[in-house]
């Protein structure tokens, strides 16, 4: 399993618009690609959010990054040209305890 995480630090005046856009537009568009088995949207504080996308394999994540990410990133940037700082990480699951 591979996790693709995107952290977002947002200026206070954009918080509501960002949360709305993420939940109603951006994340549903990513989900519709079929590249991920699970998606989470989390908030650490009023101005810090995280999305976590779970892919079955690196190949599925690579497919997303190659075929879908450029357009979705461009659409995000068009909605939020400033005021949001992003960081991205890819994690590989080593063990899970349930």
| Burial class of residue 65 in the structure, from the number of CB atoms within 10 Å of its CB (0-12 exposed, 13-18 middle, 19+ buried) | middle
As a whole number of angstroms, the distance between CA 70 and CA 87 comes to 15
The structure's pTM equals 0.93
As a whole number of angstroms, the distance between CA 33 and CA 64 comes to 7
Bridge-partner residues for 91, per DSSP? 3
Bridge-partner residues for 2, per DSSP? 55, 92
What is the model's pLDDT at position 78? 98
Query: Which uninterrupted H or E stretch holds 59?
Result: helix 58-67
What is the model's pLDDT at position 64? 98
What are the pLDDT tens digits along the chain (98 aa)? Answer: 999 999 999 999 999 999 999 999 999 999 999 999 999 999 999 999 999 999 999 999 999 999 999 999 999 999 999 999 999 999 999 999 99
What is the model's pLDDT at position 79? 97
* Domains and their CATH numbers in the chain: 2-92 (3.30.70.100)
């Amino acid at each position: 399993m591979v996790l693709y995480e995107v952290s977002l630090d947002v200026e206070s005046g954009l918080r509501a618009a960002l949360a709305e856009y993420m939940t109603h537009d951006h994340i549903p568009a990513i989900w519709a690609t079929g590249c991920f088995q699970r998606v989470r949207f989390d908030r650490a504080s009023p101005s810090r959010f995280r999305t976590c996308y779970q892919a079955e394999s690196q190949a599925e994540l690579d497919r997303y990054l190659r075929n879908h990410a450029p357009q979705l990133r461009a659409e995000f940037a068009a909605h939020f040209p400033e005021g949001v700082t992003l960081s991205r990480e890819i994690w590989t699951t080593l063990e899970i305890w349930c």
